Structure formats: C-alpha cells, structure tokens
Structure 1
Amino acid sequence: MAIKILIVFAVLLSALAFYAFVIEPRRLIEKHFLIRKDKSRVLDISEAYDMFQQESDVVIAHLSDLHFSRWFKPRRINKLIRSIMADQPDLIIFTGDLLDDYKKWPVKQTPALIAKLKKLHAPMGKLAVLGNHDYKSDGGYFVKDILESAGFTVLINEDVFGSDERLSLNIAGIADPTTEKSQFYFEDTLAEWQILLLHQPDYVNRVKNLAIYDLVLSGHSHGGQIRLPGYFPKTAGARNYTDSLYLPAKNTLLSVNTGIGTTALPLRFRVPPEIVYYHLSKKEEAFGTSGEPFDFKKLIHEETAEAKEITSPKQSETSDIASNSPVSDSLTTPVDKAPVTSQLGSKIVELAEFPRRYHLRKTAETPKAKCSL
C-alpha cells in the first residue's frame, strides 16, 4: 500500500514538474484594460475588447521581462508576435530585462533575436527602458544596442512627446535605480496622457511629481513566478507592488506586468506569461462609483450610438514626435464580482469577465493578420 502511495505521489510530482517547466512558461495570457481619465475604476475587457474600439483613442501593448537565455531562445516569442500582429496596437512598450545575463547569453543567437524583435510593429513606434538584469555582467550597452537595432527607442532618464489627430502623449523612462543614477523628476507637459516607464515598481514612491502621471508601467516582479498555497516569493524592488493594477496616487494608475520569461529557474507555476493591452479613453467620467452594479447594456448602447455617428473610418497617421531630451526623435513608427477599492496604494480589483453571450472576437470580417515566424 505504501509503495502505491509513493508511486501516485511520484506521478503527481512529475506531472506538476512537467507543467511548471514545459507547459506554463509557453502559455501567453492576453489582458485588455479600458482606462478612462478618471482611473478609480478600470474595466477588464479581455473577453470583449472588440466592442470598445470606438472608445479607445489609443491602444498600448505592454510587455516586460523577456529574460532571453540558453533556456529561453528567440523562437519562444512567436506567440507574442502573433498577438501583436492580431491586435494591432498603436504603441509598443517594453519595461526591461531583455536578457537574463549578458555573460551567459549565447552571442550567436543575437541576429535571430533582433530579427524576432523587428517583427513587433506599431504605427506610433516602440519604446523601452532597461531592467536590472540588462546591466548584469556589464551588458547594458549590448542590450541597448540590440533594442535599438530592432527599432526600439530606449529611454534612460529621457522623455519623448508625440501626437496625432486623436491625442497627445508624453512618455518618460527612468534609468534602473540599481545600476544607474535615476532621474525621478520630469517636467509636466501639455500632453493629454502622461506615461512613466519604471522597471522596478517599488521605486514609484520616489517619483517627486507622481500625481501628474496617468499611467506608470513596470515589470520586474514576475508575479513571484511560482505561487503555491502559502508561498508567494517577492523580489526586492517589487515587494509592495507585485502584479496587476494599483493606485499609488489619487489618479495615477500603476500596472505591474508579470513578464514573459523566467529567471533563476526556467519554470512558472500559477503565474503564466502575459501581455497587457491598455485601451486609453479621453472620457472624463468614471465608470461608476465603487459598489455600484456595472450597466453593461447601457455602455454597449452608448458605444453603438457613437459608432453610427461616424461617417468615415479613422485615418491612422504616423505620429510626429519631438524629443525633450537627446534621444532619437523617431517615435514613429459586466457584471462586477467585487467593488473596486480606491484607497491609495491598494490593488485595484479586476472586474469579472463579460458574460459569454457578449463575447465577440474578431471574425471573418476582421481576419487576424498572418505572419511568418
């Protein structure tokens, strides 16, 4: 009997190990958030994002912590490339840790890595900051060169301004605090959306004028990478903000991306890789106060009415960008389960998925872009 129990236990342990090492690290979860200027409430529209195209003035794709290594090779981002090509965001942002360790990186893989990153396209361009792992073994200049060769503008204590017929953006990037002297203050601008990029989220509390920012994008935490009952490892630099969305200031939204790659051990458990899409809307009114039932049908009716008023499709123009610092000037390119908390520093509870009967994905009328990987 004891032998049978041991066999069952060994089989279960092997199955869990296989899942953690092979299956979950190769998954990719897409999250879509609809964000208005009043950020006390954010809608998780992951299951119905196509319904909100009229309200989305701009869509930003956020990826982080790729950690390319001997274990994680360039071909592993094929799902990521397909996601970007299918959802066609206006702007792509990467918040650091491209390589796990420069010293251990197989340099012969570099051309393949650049080729894969070049397949990530967005009309308003691609921006990046470096993470703490990018500087390991003096790899900062090497990683920066890879990103720039792939078409990214790397912000190291720099900001860029961009606008088109829909809206204007100012995006600032802070150098990683553990490796370079960080600049925690940038001048306010007249842009409609102020966005800050910071690899390690806990340093958000050092930003001197945090209240001017609409959105702060970060990574670093990996969401713990492994989550077991009663076991949730936290990383220095991401102990207070570990995953999902927070309000560190009254109207400043902090998003902590749990990343795509792995570090230390090439496994993930209950923290699958993710890419996050932010659908930004200039509407000032909130979605409703905390605790109120969300009127899904009313919002869909409003969006349908707006769509009917449009007599011609939006023209997608390339943004004209002016840099505020010596960096390249070519940023071209429901029903609620729980109320949302508005306490400063608290995590914003993600809303429930929309009912399945409202679930509309892209159909044959709007086919997904094909890509050759």
Structure 2
Amino acid sequence: GNWEHYAGIDRRTAERTYGPAGVELLFNSTARVRLGNATLTVVGIDDPVLGRPNVVAAARGLDGREPCIWVVHAPGYVDGVPRERFPRPAAILAGHTHGGQIRLPFYTPYTPPGSGRFVAGWYNDTLAPLYVSRGIGEVAIPARLFCPPELPIFKLKRSGEQGAVLAAAREGTAPRSPLTITRL
C-alpha cells in the first residue's frame, strides 16, 4: 500500500512490526507460498507513487514456469513494464484507485496520481490480466457514491494442462497462463 509511506514508516520498522505476526512484506521481492504439493509465487512491487519500485529486482529468479501473481499498489505502473522483458504472470493485482470513490453519472471518475488509465475491475490489455480493486477505504472524503466498497476474493486453481486459460468472473477469458484465477 501507500499509507506506510505517508506515515513515514520505513521498511525496517514495518518488518519489525509485522514480522512477529508471520507477515512477510514484499518490497520489490518474491515469496513462494506452499500448500501441499502446490506452490504459488507472489511478486510484490513497492508503491510506484511514494516508494521505489524495481520490477527487475522483484522478478529476479523467475523463469515463467511456476504459477505467479504480481501485486502492486498503484496500477498505472503496469503500463510501463515491458512485456517482452519479464515472464508473464497469471495475473496482476492492484488497488489505489478506490474505484473512483465518488462516481457521478456522466463524469469521468477521479482517480489519484499513479492510477494511470485504470479505475476498477479487470483489464486484459496489459502485461498480464490486471485486476484493480475498489477496496474498502476512502481518501480525503469519508464517503463513497455509486462506488460500493469491495474486498475481492479469488479462487486459484492449478491448470489441468500447461497454458490453461485464465478465467475472469463476469469478464470472459484472458490470455494463457499456467494458473486459473477466478474472482468469486
């Protein structure tokens, strides 16, 4: 997220605070989550607006064969990532936009700097399918209008065959991936 940056909480303090609870923070780094004989690689990229994002460091060691999801706070960063330079993740998850928060009919939704062209939902024209969550919070004004909060839950499945289709709920299908992810 970005609130740690706004609050002046540095990485060492955040790790000291969250570490005892078993939380591993991903600052331009990768973690592997194992459940039984399945492994999911999660790539975390530092906040592009207030942090120091480094996708080269974050994706180091990836070969493109393992199921992988990228997480980045501000979605506008995704458009600047060269497609040919990194192994394609199954999906990229982002937030930051609050979905526009106050959505007046016939007006373009306001999104904060770092959002780029993204507001909310699935986008299939980036490095990998990108989901931008509206989240549950607000910024500046403690209200939402025509923009309900959301806490998306995704169902992950190992594909039965290499190159299975990533199915996005309500949005049709997206390009090939070794992982299936569906928004419930």
- Whether the TM-score (by the shorter chain) exceeds 0.5 is yes
Residues 39-62 of structure 1: CA deviation (Å, up to 9, x unaligned): xxxxxxxxxxxxxxxxxxxxxxxx
Structure 1 residues 212 and 286, CA, compared in 2 at 3 Å: closer, same or farther? closer
Q: 2:114 aligns with which of 222, 230, 237?
A: 237
1:255 alignment partner in structure 2: 131
Q: Is contact 1:170–1:191 with CA below 8 Å preserved after alignment?
A: no
Q: Is contact 1:197–1:216 with CA below 8 Å preserved after alignment?
A: yes
Structure 1 residues 190 and 228, CA, compared in 2 at 3 Å: closer, same or farther? closer
Residues 132-168 of structure 1: CA deviation (Å, up to 9, x unaligned): x321142344555443344321111111123343422
Consecutive unaligned residues in structure 2, runs of 5 or more: 176-181
Structure 1 residues 240 and 283, CA, compared in 2 at 3 Å: closer, same or farther? farther
Is 1:221 equivalent to 2:97 in the alignment? yes
Distance 1:271 1:146 in 2: 33
Distance 1:210 1:139 in 2: 30
2:5 alignment partner in structure 1: 135
Distance 2:166 2:71 in 1: 26
1:35 alignment partner in structure 2: none
State TM-score, norm by structure 2. Answer: 0.74
Q: 2:36 aligns with which of 159, 165, 172?
A: 165
Q: CA deviation at 1:342?
A: 6.1
Distance 1:235 1:135 in 2: 15
Consecutive unaligned residues in structure 1, runs of 5 or more: 1-95, 97-130, 289-333, 344-349, 354-373
Distance 1:207 1:152 in 2: 27
Letter in 2 for 1:188: L
3-state SS in 1 of match to 2:153: strand
Q: Kindly, what percent of the aligned residue pairs are identical?
A: 27
Higher helix share: 1
Is 1:197 equivalent to 2:71 in the alignment? yes
Structure 1 residues 149 and 221, CA, compared in 2 at 3 Å: closer, same or farther? farther
1:270 alignment partner in structure 2: 146
Residues 26-75 of structure 1: CA deviation (Å, up to 9, x unaligned): xxxxxxxxxxxxxxxxxxxxxxxxxxxxxxxxxxxxxxxxxxxxxxxxxx
Is 1:153 equivalent to 2:24 in the alignment? yes
Higher strand share: 2
CA-atom RMSD in angstroms:
3.2
Distance 2:174 2:138 in 1: 32
3-state SS in 1 of match to 2:48: coil
State TM-score, norm by structure 1. Answer: 0.39
Structure 1 residues 144 and 271, CA, compared in 2 at 3 Å: closer, same or farther? farther
1:39 alignment partner in structure 2: none
2:178 alignment partner in structure 1: none
3-state SS in 1 of match to 2:113: coil
Distance 1:258 1:174 in 2: 19
Structure 1 residues 286 and 170, CA, compared in 2 at 3 Å: closer, same or farther? closer
Distance 2:173 2:63 in 1: 29
Structure 1 residues 163 and 203, CA, compared in 2 at 3 Å: closer, same or farther? same
Paired residue total: 167
3-state SS in 1 of match to 2:131: strand
Larger radius of gyration: 1
